[in-house]
Structure 1
Amino acid sequence: MRAISSHLMAERFVSIVGPGGIGKTTLAISVGHQLTTELADQVHFIDLGSLSDPHLVAGTIGSALGFVVDDRDPIPGLLAALRDIRVLLVLDSCERVIEAASALAETIFEEAPQVCILATSRETLRVRGEHIHWIAPLEFPPEGVHMSAREALAYTAVQLFAERVAASQLRFMLNDVDAPVAAEICRRLDGIPLAIELAAGRVDAYGIHDVARLLDHKFELWRGRRTALPRHQTLTATLDWSYDLLSELEQTILRRLSVFVGPFTIEAAFAIAAGDDLDDSQVVESIASLVAKSLLTGNTRLAIPLYRLLDTTRGYVQAKLAKSGDASLVARRHAVYHLALFERIGAKLPGSRKSDNASDSNLIRSMTGAEATI
């Protein structure tokens, strides 16, 4: 919050970007509160997530500031009103109307020199003046490490989980028996704050061990605060929000990529997602877009870049895949690809010749146990 506030005052235009449920809105509101004194209470929160018509963006901002603008062409009047005032505009959930919000934010930044803009979005606005602050998930314990409650609580994801459970169970304290289960829950929820809060809210009904067992595809069982925005009341609603904003091509490729339990290379993505109906260039373009929209994570610092779906996203999209009619085809492609990969590497192991293929070796090392048994 301090870093974003400082950056915003220096650069005037900051976008908070990250996947659904990561805490972008909460963080933006906190930054706005912190800057109210410095900006003489001229901080305005505008929820663009409720809009479906991009033509309403400028009028919505004008109404939030109390300006009278021409409904037929509100932008000139909005710019005229903003040109000589110092104000912070918090534009929340820009992804819903990304093209209109991006264009208007750039215009305001360039033509109203005293206006600061703090945007939240699941993808970057990609306009002049924008400085991006990516929100990372909370830290969670590594897999395969048995730890005490004290050790688990050193991780921020477990801290949040324990805090939220204690809010509904006043006498709750994380103990050494439950600590590994709490760590597993936080790990399987990828450190996403909203998902952790929703799961913690069900511990009073099911207990920690049953909550862990209910993680697979039981998203509708977890309901959040009644006062939360509809898209934040269940994990399904949050994922619906992101999925529905994708193009049909992006939805198809995301569904097909959900067959990967762990990391995968672009080569693997071609083998599973491309085919008679899609070519490699469409897969490349869609993967880049899905990374930008926070639905895939990519580690491009490796010699062979690896991509993966967050486990929560993967569980949700796999249900979509099952209903699409593609499930059998995708499962077969997945099995054929890995069979060919293992045969290729096996031919180069002792008794033949050691593998010198960096792509093959890196992929094998990165695989989860579930994929390696295919």
Structure 2
Amino acid sequence: MVSRQPPDVIHFGPFRLHLKLRRLLCGEEEVRLGNRAMELLMALARKKGEVVTKKDLFDAAWPGIFIEEGNLKVTIASLRRSLRKYSETGSYIRTFSSRGYWLSDQLDEGMPYDGNVLGSANTQFPDLGTVIGRSDEIAEVRRTIAVNRLTTIVGAGGIGKTTVALAVAQLVASNEKDLVTFIDLSRIAGEEFVIPSLAAVLGISSGSQDRLDAVSSILARQTALLVLDTCEHVINAVAHLCDVILARTKSVRILCTSRQALRAKNERVLWLAPLRVPPPGGSLTSEEALGYSAPKLLVGRASEVGNYRLEDRDVGTIVEICRSLDGLPLALELIASQLLVKPATDVLGELDDRFASLIGRGHEGPPRQWTLLATLEWSYALLTESEAAVLRASSIFAGPFEAGALLRVVGLHDLDPADVFDALAGLRSKSMLSIEHSSNEIRYRLLDSTRAFAANLLEASGELEDASAAYARYVLDVFEKAKIEQSQLPAQLWYAIYAIRVEELRKAITWALYQNGDTLLGLKLVATGLPLWHELCL
């Protein structure tokens, strides 16, 4: 019997999937998918109308890598959201319990779509990537939010709070009727901006009405999950916001991440521990070592970057690296790429030297802070000159940024655009920054701890003033464009595009007017921001 080969272009619903080109189109518009989601969709499309087993899907998206089943569920959830965003009706991926999934021309009636005015909010999630070693924690958070309306994930910086919260948010968005909204609070400057940020994400322009009243009124008609990420620097405002929203609504749940508890009413706190490391003593095989989440993450990240494979002879060294880094996920991810270019014993030796030099300088603070700082410094020392310059310049952005914006800021280094793009690729491969898709653009993002570390380097290198000036001129161009587009775009679309950039405008104005910057440039920024100030009632 001759096996039937799938066609090069596979149709389902309004979509066309070009297998050879790895492109998904809805009409003439391209649907942007992450690499894993695309691999899963292609595997499902090649057997459209048939059940594809979980094993086959694992082999398609994570070949040669042992990962947890939760990653498959999260990636399928992300894929379903992308299809619902474009089809406006529902998902074409059906679930067969305990067996697998299939792709159909018919909508999956088990995947309800909330078509209300706020329905687009549940698609605005940062790229999650592969989650390793947190399946128990993700399950615990899901159980907790099912019975508690306010839950806070608490833990040290770099321990993976955002990762766990995002995984839960994506699973809820895929499997429940809740509107799921993710609000990144890391980029806001002060507590007075917490409520405006939530309103902007929800697309609420409240006019003269109290903004918290407007948010509460809208949410009172929703079944929703709000995910408030990185709350520690605005903790009092977040606690107040949660108290008010929960008092005025019946079907809203809130999930927060913070380095400390909110101390809000009826708050349930879940402490996130480091990843598990094998106990000292004893000899383990590679299979036994990978039963612990810390080595599993370290080896998994190295495998994703360059097909690294853990050999029994390296198990002891790998375990010692994990122990030295206290099982901190961020630290493990930052050094994973080094296993591809040097023996594990050399990686451990260089790491020990870095710790010794740090402690010798009298560094204060808890050991976990030594670990993170040491890892960041060690990772920075391994960057090329161009990568280091781009990393420092990237710290001027409070949130995600486009390559075009970065090119404006790194101009003082006389780097060609090709050098900048190569540096971005290098930083991505070394886990110093991540990628997320927004509309049809690729945006880059620094982790909070990495941004703070790079910002200190930017100032120490004497580059802060030039970078701030270039950043302020870039922001001025953005809002001059906004002023023109206000009369060209629908009001709601204009608001959605520019309301989330208010912190960029504030940062540029603060430098220009109050930090020995450029007074004339500052006045221009204030003037060009007037349409946005008016819309935000500020």
Q: Same fold (TM over 0.5)?
A: yes
Cα drift, residue 118 of structure 1? 0.7
Q: Distance in 2 between matches of 1:186 and 1:18?
A: 18
2:280 matches 1:151: no
Alpha-carbon spacing, 1:218–1:48, altered in 2? closer, same or farther (3 Å): closer
2:317 matches 1:185: no
Cα drift, residue 70 of structure 1? 4.4
Aligned to 2:434: 227
Contact residue 106 and residue 128 of structure 1 kept, 8 A: yes
- Structure 1 letter corresponding to 2:349: R
2:230 matches 1:84: no
Aligned to 2:194: 57
RCO greater where, 1 or 2, for CA within 8 Å and sep 6 or more?
A: 1
Cα drift, residue 115 of structure 1? 0.9
Cα drift, residue 160 of structure 1? 1.2
2:412 matches 1:205: no
**Structure 1 residues 14-53: aligned runs within 5 Å:** 14-40=151-177, 42-53=179-190
- Structure 2 letter corresponding to 1:214: E
Q: Cα deviations across residues 99-130 of structure 1 (Å, max 9, x unaligned)?
A: 11111112111222211101111111111021
2:391 matches 1:175: no
Cα drift, residue 238 of structure 1? 9.9
Contact residue 22 and residue 136 of structure 1 kept, 8 A: yes
Contact residue 231 and residue 238 of structure 1 kept, 8 A: no
Q: What is the aligned counterpart of 2:297 among 149, 155, 160?
A: 160
SS at match of 1:142: coil
Alpha-carbon spacing, 1:31–1:239, altered in 2? closer, same or farther (3 Å): farther
Alpha-carbon spacing, 1:37–1:161, altered in 2? closer, same or farther (3 Å): closer
Q: Distance in 2 between matches of 1:56 and 1:100?
A: 9
Q: Distance in 2 between matches of 1:235 and 1:185?
A: 24
Cα drift, residue 81 of structure 1? 1.9
Contact residue 141 and residue 155 of structure 1 kept, 8 A: yes
Alpha-carbon spacing, 1:234–1:180, altered in 2? closer, same or farther (3 Å): farther
**Structure 1 residues 57-76: aligned runs within 5 Å:** 57-70=194-207, 73-76=210-213
Q: Distance in 2 between matches of 1:238 and 1:135?
A: 26
Q: Distance in 1 between matches of 2:301 and 2:237?
A: 37
Aligned to 1:278: none
RMSD: 2.5
Aligned to 1:134: 271
Q: Distance in 1 between matches of 2:141 and 2:289?
A: 28
Q: Distance in 2 between matches of 1:127 and 1:233?
A: 26
- Structure 2 letter corresponding to 1:42: L
Q: Cα deviations across residues 28-74 of structure 1 (Å, max 9, x unaligned)?
A: 11111111145436100000011112111001101111112247842
Paired residues in the alignment total 239
Q: Distance in 1 between matches of 2:208 and 2:155?
A: 33
Cα drift, residue 19 of structure 1? 1.0
Q: Cα deviations across residues 296-331 of structure 1 (Å, max 9, x unaligned)?
A: xxxxxxxxxxxxxxxxxxxxxxxxxxxxxxxxxxxx
Q: Cα deviations across residues 70-113 of structure 1 (Å, max 9, x unaligned)?
A: 47842222222222221111000011211111111121112222
Identity %: 33
Q: Cα deviations across residues 310-363 of structure 1 (Å, max 9, x unaligned)?
A: xxxxxxxxxxxxxxxxxxxxxxxxxxxxxxxxxxxxxxxxxxxxxxxxxxxxxx
Q: Distance in 1 between matches of 2:245 and 2:333?
A: 36
Q: What runs of 5+ residues in structure 1 fail to find an aligned partner?
A: 241-374
Contact residue 19 and residue 122 of structure 1 kept, 8 A: yes
Aligned to 2:126: none
SS at match of 1:7: helix
Cα drift, residue 141 of structure 1? 1.6
Q: Distance in 2 between matches of 1:208 and 1:232?
A: 28
Contact residue 186 and residue 196 of structure 1 kept, 8 A: yes
Q: Distance in 1 between matches of 2:168 and 2:142?
A: 6
- Structure 1 letter corresponding to 2:447: R
User: Structure 1 stretch 150-159 or stretch 13-22: which is displaced more?
Assistant: 150-159
Alpha-carbon spacing, 1:104–1:236, altered in 2? closer, same or farther (3 Å): closer
SS at match of 2:186: helix
Contact residue 8 and residue 14 of structure 1 kept, 8 A: yes
